[in-house]
Amino acid sequence: MTGSSGRRDVRAHVTAGVPWWSAASRAAWFLCLWLVLAGAALDDIPAAIIAVAAATWTSLRLLEPGTARPSPRAICRLTLLFMYHSVVAGADVARRALDPRLPLRPGFVAYPTGLPRGPRRNVFATLTSLLPGTVPAGGDEAQILYHCLDVEQPVVEELAAEEVALVRALYND
C-alpha cells in the first residue's frame, strides 16, 4: 500500500491490538498444558516462558479472538442435550446391532446449516460426529452431508437442536 491513506489503514490494523483477556486466557491454557506435559521443575521456567509466549503469539495469529462470549448456562444445556442424545442414540444403535429383526436403513441426509464454512461449522461437525448413528461425510456452502444408520429417524430435527444449542452456548455475538 502506498500513500498516506494506505499507511493509516495498515497502522490501524497493526495497532488495533488484541484484547488482553484473550491473550491471558490462552497463555494460561498453554501454561497448564506445559505443566501437564513437562511438570513443574524450576529449571524449566525459562523454557516454559518462551514456549508459552510463542504458543500464545502463534495461536493469536492463526485464530484471531472473536467477539463472542461463551454462556456457561447455555454450555450446561448443550452438555445435557449432548449427553441425552448420546445415551438415546447409543441405546438405539446397540439395540439395532443386537436385534436382527430391527432394520437398518443406512443412507445420507443433507442437513441445511446456518453456519458458514470455517471454525464454527467445524466445531458443529465435530460435536455431531460424536453422536452415535451419524457421521458428517462432506457438504457444500449451504449444507452438511451426514451418513446415518437409519434415514427414517428424525436426524435433521436432532441436528437442528444441536446447532441451536451450540450457537447459544459458544457464539453469543
Sequence-distant (≥ 6) Cβ neighbours of residue 67 within 8 angstroms: 173
- Whether the predicted model's global pTM rises above the 0.85 cut: no
Per DSSP, the three-state class of 150 is strand
Write down the pLDDT at residue 147. Answer: 93
CA torsion, ordered 151, 106, 139, 79, to nearest 10 deg: 70
Q: Which amino acid is at 108?
A: F
Determine the average pLDDT of the residues in 82-97: 81
Strands (E) across 3-130 are located at: 107-112
Sequence-distant (≥ 6) Cβ neighbours of residue 60 within 8 angstroms: 18, 22, 23, 26
Cα atoms found within 13 Å of the Cα of residue 13, Cβ hemisphere only: 8
Q: Which of 71-75, 117-121, 123-127 has the lowest mean pLDDT?
A: 71-75
pLDDT at 3 over 70: no
